[in-house]
Amino acid sequence: MENYIEYIIDSIERKNPSHSKKLKENLKDLGEEYFNLANPFYEKYEEYLKSQQLTLDYGVDFYLKMIEAMLDERLAFIQNGRYSNTSFEEVEKNVYATPEVMSYHMHGLVLAQFLWFDQYERIKFFIDNVYKYFLSGKNYLEIGGGHGLYIYKAVEILPIATKFDLVDISESSLKIAKGILNNDKINFYLKNIFDFANDDVYDFITIGEVLEHVENPKELLMKIGKHLAKDGVCYMTTPVNAPMIDHIYLFNNVQEIRNLINEAGFEIIEEKTVISEKITPEKAAKFKVPVMYAAFIKKQD
């Protein structure tokens, strides 16, 4: 298949025309670089689905189910001003320990990686800049790797690296990542990062969309600091006002994230923010529209 994006959006259009229309509008200005990144990844995803006797339409159905769940979470968030889950125990019971929920959620996130322009902007920010911060490093760690796109690109971009580790607490997540990536250069660990020995040190750490999944993100960042080499760099992303079935910690604005980074002993090297809708920052703040934040950070001197 030459154009996975076109196929996926056409499939969505048959089942949810209004959402398909929104996707087309949001993606219409993205050029060749976008398709060159999206199509190979979706090809690997399709290969994984075929190995499970499934098709891309299976992924599309789960993506649309995730969208429905997001709408429910969004309505509750606007009404109550908080995320529906406030503890890891709740999320573990309702999501992580419920295979049918975790399955549709993870497959939905695979498709969202390139169907949502803000997700694409974050991986592009990573790809365009990671090489600057890994000039002589050897060890790469990814925490909460999800579908594995970031570590997939890291293996490609960082040929000098000799060790690639991915750790995740979700067996479902690791299964999908292993299936999509199918790469023996990557070591997969079904483990909590807090169970890693502090003498496991890495030159570069990626933690994408994880801070909002924990009750105490400062504690998690401080743990990362223990695993980051003296001159190492961490790439982190987390959203503002982004209710989902597994989100716990609410960041109300970008400045709260910046403050947390500093309080945890890091400083920001460079950052990027992307509003999830094509609106002004003022409207995003007024209507609590999700804003995506990404940054390369290092330990304070």
pLDDT tens, residue by residue, 44-85: 999 999 999 999 999 999 999 999 999 999 999 999 999 999
pLDDT classification of 28: cutoffs 50, 70, 90: very high
pLDDT score at 145: 86
Cα gap 274→269, rounded to integer Å: 17
What is the β-pairing status of strands 266-275 and 186-190? unpaired
2, pLDDT greater than 90: no
Helices (H), ranges, 169-277: 171-181, 217-227, 254-263
pTM: 0.94
Q: By three-state DSSP, how is residue 80 classified? A: helix
pLDDT classification of 199: cutoffs 50, 70, 90: confident
pLDDT score at 130: 95
Cα gap 272→258, rounded to integer Å: 12
pLDDT score at 198: 76
Residue 256 is encoded by which pair of tokens? 């709260």
Cα gap 12→18, rounded to integer Å: 9
Q: Which amino acid is at 105?
A: H
User: Cβ of 220: how many Cβ atoms within 10 Å?
Assistant: 23
pLDDT score at 216: 97
301, pLDDT greater than 90: no
Domains along the chain?
4-115 (no CATH), 117-299 (3.40.50.150)
pLDDT classification of 285: cutoffs 50, 70, 90: very high
Q: Which amino acid is at 2?
A: E
pLDDT score at 97: 83
Cα gap 221→243, rounded to integer Å: 21
1, pLDDT greater than 80: no
pLDDT score at 197: 83
pLDDT score at 226: 95
pLDDT score at 170: 86
pLDDT score at 78: 96
155, pLDDT greater than 80: yes
pLDDT score at 40: 94
Provide CB contacts within 8 A for 264, sequence distance 6+: 218, 221, 222, 225
98, pLDDT greater than 90: no
For the chain, give the mean pLDDT.
94
121, pLDDT greater than 80: yes
